[in-house]
Amino acid sequence: MALLFIYLLTNWFSRAFATSIWPFLGFVFMPFTTLAYMAAMLNNNHAVSGWWVVLLIAGVLTDLGALGGSRRKKRRN
């Protein structure tokens, strides 16, 4: 939901990504990773380094944890 608001109200997607396909795929499959990558690109001169790598990894783990948790819940029912 946050990605939708950012897309509608700011120009951050066009500043962070060269094409429009990556933000769309990120919105569908890995929204937290997309937010972390966009923050790193906008705040670190279009480079992912230092603490931004940690933030990006946290986004990936959060997305994967959300996917894994829903699968576990389906198995229990």
Q: What region, left, alpha or beta, does residue 47 occupy, with left being phi > 0 and alpha being psi -120 to 50 degrees?
A: beta
Domain of 46 in residue numbering reads as 2-69
Longest alpha-carbon distance in the chain? 47
Q: What is the pLDDT of residue 46?
A: 82
Query: Which own/partner contact pairs does 36-43 have at CB distance under 8 Å and 24+ positions apart?
Result: 38/6, 38/12, 38/13, 41/15, 41/16, 41/17, 42/12, 42/15, 42/16
Report yes or no on 7 lying in a domain. yes
Q: Does the residue 77 lie in any domain?
A: no
Express each pLDDT in 38-60 by its tens digit. 999 988 888 888 899 999 999 99
Domain-embedded: residue 74: no
75 domain-assigned: no
Q: What is the pTM of this model?
A: 0.79
Q: How many domains does the chain have?
A: 1
